[in-house]
Amino acid sequence: MNTTTTTLSSRGADATTISLHEGYFAKRSLADWIFAALVLAGGLFAFARYHGFMDVYEKGILLGTIPAAIAMGWFWRPLRVLMGVVALFSLLGIASYQGDLARAEQVFWLKYFLSSQSAILWMSMLFFMSTVFYWLGMFIRQPGDALESLGSKLAWVAVGMALIGTMVRWYESYLIGADVGHIPVSNLYEVFVLFCWMTAAFYLYFEAQYKTRAMGAFVMLVVSAAVGFLLWYTVVREAHEIQPLVPALKSWWMKLHVPANFIGYGMFSLAAMVALAYLIKQQALETRWYKLTPLWLLGVVLCFVPIVFRKSPADVGGGNYWAGYLLVSGLIAAGILLGRKRIAARLPSAEVLDDVMYKAIAVGFAFFTIATVLGALWAAEAWGGYWSWDPKETWALIVWLNYAAWLHMRLVKGLRGTVASWWALVGLAVTTFAFLGVNMFLSGLHSYGTL
């Protein structure tokens, strides 16, 4: 009797094991396969329609994005809705042009919603609004969850508008001229749009995985700061205007190197803002003002930014803008300082914050490593050498070494908590200088990105 029971139990365990190890494709639902079919159809349509503008490498990239998009949609279902909405409105915007760029001022939904500049301006406003609602949810007790939920929804819409603007801008560049057309990741204006939506999208993933929206108040601060820079840069340089590529950028490598690079930048920024949240939670009960170092550091940094950019050669008549930036920055720092106890109570546990920080840096480091290797291959093609110790390359190496050391200490020595958080914040400063500071103060082979 006991032997029979044991045999049946072991068979049941085997059946459970087989069920748990069921094939990946066998787990797919009908909705999964419909989504895959739509992505495949869309990719093949794009290939049939635009393959004449592509070289063999670009065709390979396009075909490679089809299984990648399907995998992402299967991995995280909200991306399916995002992809569908972006595709629908991008195609509507493209069709509305009817091959004539002048229609951007004649067609209502192009002029106010779907032209690249209109969509990106909507993105900017929605990211600002999202940040406001996340912070209102942090401080207002009763409807806090509802306000944070609204902030999250607005962030999703902003990501969608950024992607629509990017896709339509890509098409607009070809309307200017076949020799002008390019993927919009070639200058500071375009990559700041890329940075904004990528950082927000990765945060929204963490928000869903950890079932907490409180981190959004901090992460959206860095996104809003990027939007602020984008608007300033648009005014002082008219950066929204599409320009022909410089010779060094006329390469298919750009389509791989730049997005991979900005996944790294976005994740490092996300990790730093979560690290700031960790430090604030840790010091919530501290009453000695001189011990509240993270908050004073935030205030100093926020006040330092307008001083740096106000001295930029590009800034003509930008004094009022940076005065407003300084005022808003001061209010943010003061609000966090005074409301730190309420903020700490709303934030998830220190363990969750530490885990998000680690995962963000790990993913960012992986993609930044890929981007660095791709950049070396691109440099060999463009300039005849893999590495030339150009200032941008040197600072990219410094960024890579910084996060390599962080991960090494985490995995080997168990780096956690306060030291890890401070290190992540310092890492953001290093990354920011590599991204913007080099463009402002140094010159070299990457001088096409100067301010």
Spell 305-342 as b/e; 16+ CB within 10 A means b. Answer: bbeebeebeebeebeebbeebbeebeebbeebbebbee
C-alpha to C-alpha distances, 43 to 39, 46, 116, 128, nearest whole angstrom: 6, 5, 22, 33
26 pLDDT band, cuts 50/70/90, is confident
Cα(360)–Cα(272) distance, rounded to whole angstroms?
Answer: 9
CB 40 within 8 A of CB 68: no
DSSP label at 214? T
Measured distance CA(51)–CA(62) in Å, rounded: 9
pLDDT tens, residue by residue, 310-336: 555 555 445 567 677 777 877 888 888
Per domain, the residue ranges of the chain are: 246-451
- Greater model confidence, 303 or 128: 128
Cα Rg, the chain, nearest whole Å: 24
| Residue pair 70/32 in contact by the 8 Å Cβ criterion | no
Among 292-296, 328-332, 376-380, 394-398, name the one with the lowest average pLDDT.
Answer: 292-296
Contacts for 58 with CB less than 8 Å, ≥ 6 apart:
252, 255
**CA distances in angstroms from 253 to 260, 285, 313, 371, 451, listed in the order given:** 11, 50, 30, 10, 23
Condensed to tens digits (0 to 9), the pLDDT of residues 387-444 reads: 888 888 899 999 999 999 999 999 999 999 889 999 999 999 899 888 888 877 766 5
The whole-angstrom separation of Cα 364 and Cα 368 is: 6
pLDDT for res 237? 77
